[in-house]
Amino acid sequence: MNRLVAIWQRVPPWVTDILAVAIAAADSVLYYYGQGELAIGASALGCAALLIRRRWPLIAFALTLPAALIANILVAPIIALLALSSRTRRRWLLFICGALFAAAEAIGWPLTNLFTNDQNWTAVTFVYQLATAAAPILLGQLTLAASDLRARIAEIEATKQHERELYAQSLLTQERNQLAREMHDVVSHQVSLISVQAGALQVTAADPEVRGAASSIRAMAATTLDELRSMVTLLRAAGTRSPGLAPQPTIADLADLVAASGLPVTTTGELPRDLPSAAQRAVFRTVQEALTNVRKHAPGSAIRVQLWSEDRSCGVVIGNSRPSEPPLDLPSARLGLLGLRERAELLGGVLVAGTAGDGFEVRLTLPRSPA
């Protein structure tokens, strides 16, 4: 049954309109065969009215009543009454239309037999036609109720889907808050200890170079704490309207980043200042990650940072020479370059990293306009 209903719903409306007119015309031919031109015209009007039953069902039904009264046809008024019943919830209107249909059929029967002296019009005929009108009215109301039920089911499904999304969002928020707490309680504690010990070393050390190195360590620890607070705030504010973020780094902060690294870095070139903020952050984070990798894996090497810009693209190249000191034994998750590649792809760019001669090179290419 459901398959038949689905097939019927895929039938184009004009096909059903032609089919309804054809059936009504066949019914009219059976009734007005041999009758006058008035019955033929009324029947033709009633059949043609079925073409407007979708948009103006009440008018279509009214145009079929003369045919029911004069030619005593049944199919056209029933189809129009079905269309009206499936599109209105005013039951009093349906009751009136059904009574009019029954009256027209009951009165029309003796009118079509005036010359045979068969003018028997009784209440039984009216009740019979009223029962006939009840069938399309009930079927139309059933169709309307089914349509309302489908809409209600779709609304309930949408509500359930929204509730599932809210539940998933609440779980994600809990995980983010837990991650933020872990970062704040563990990482910030360790970095704070590093900063305190570096400050103590800066005060007690007699060697100027040691004091300078301690000062750099303390400054980098303070910067790390600031960025950590921004990340914690970002995790806690995710999914809310509160931005909760400190000012994000731009290409204007590259000079401070290079100076704070304490590495022998040679910077050349420049980038346009009107780059999108996301592209500026990508350049900054790429240089930051590259300098961190050089400090861990190639200490003592010469570093060059080359900023470049063309008509449609721009970027940065960070390269280092062969290290002159053994690499530091520091833990690494090997996710830095992977994260940079994903950031570049999101912006429509490319990040390439690999050996270049005796050293290593990281090249970031970004479009000038947002991807």
The tens place of each residue's pLDDT in the chain, 371 residues long, gives: 456 545 556 667 777 777 777 777 777 777 655 556 677 777 777 777 878 788 888 888 888 888 777 777 777 888 888 888 888 888 888 888 888 888 777 776 555 554 444 445 556 677 777 878 888 888 888 888 888 888 889 888 888 888 888 888 777 777 777 776 666 656 765 776 677 777 777 778 778 887 788 778 877 777 777 777 667 666 666 555 444 445 678 888 888 888 887 788 899 988 888 888 888 888 998 998 888 888 878 888 889 999 999 888 899 999 998 888 777 665 555 667 887 888 888 888 999 988 888 889 999 999 987 65
The candidate with the shortest Cα–Cα distance to 79, out of 99, 109, 106, 49, is 49
Angle CA 216–217–218, to nearest 5? 90
The domain covering 250-367 belongs, at the CATH homologous superfamily level, to: Histidine kinase-like ATPase, C-terminal domain (3.30.565.10)
Q: Where in the chain is the domain with CATH 3.30.565.10?
A: 250-367
| Phi then psi dihedrals of residue 321, to 5 deg | -90, -170
45-49 long-range contacts, CB within 8 A, separation 24+? 46/71, 46/73, 46/76, 46/77, 47/21, 47/76, 48/21, 49/76, 49/80
pTM of the model: 0.44
Q: Is 167 exposed, middle or buried (0-12, 13-18, 19+ CB in 10 A)?
A: exposed
Query: In the prediction, which pLDDT does 115 show?
Result: 43
100's tokens: 């009019």
- CB count in 10 Å sphere of residue 298: 20
What confidence score (pLDDT) does residue 121 get?
Answer: 55
d(Cα 280, Cα 274) in Å, to the nearest integer?
9
**Quick one: which H or E segment has residue 354?**
strand 350-356
Distances in whole angstroms, Cα of residue 109 to Cα of each of 64, 73, 97, 117, 224: 15, 10, 18, 12, 97
pLDDT at 365: 92
The set of residues, in sequence order, having a beta carbon less than 8 Å from that of 268 and lying 6+ positions away, is 304, 305, 306, 307
Distance in angstroms (rounded) separating the CA atoms of residues 223 and 296: 18
**13's tokens:** 């409306």
- Other beta carbons within 10 Å of 122: 9
- Please give the Cα distance from 39 to 319 (Å, whole number): 97
Contact present, 179 and 235 (Cβ < 8 Å) = yes
Rounded to whole angstroms, the Cα distance separating 50 from 48 reads: 5
Residues sharing a CB contact under 8 Å with residue 202, sequence separation 6 or more, in sequence order = 211, 214, 215, 218
pLDDT for position 278: 83
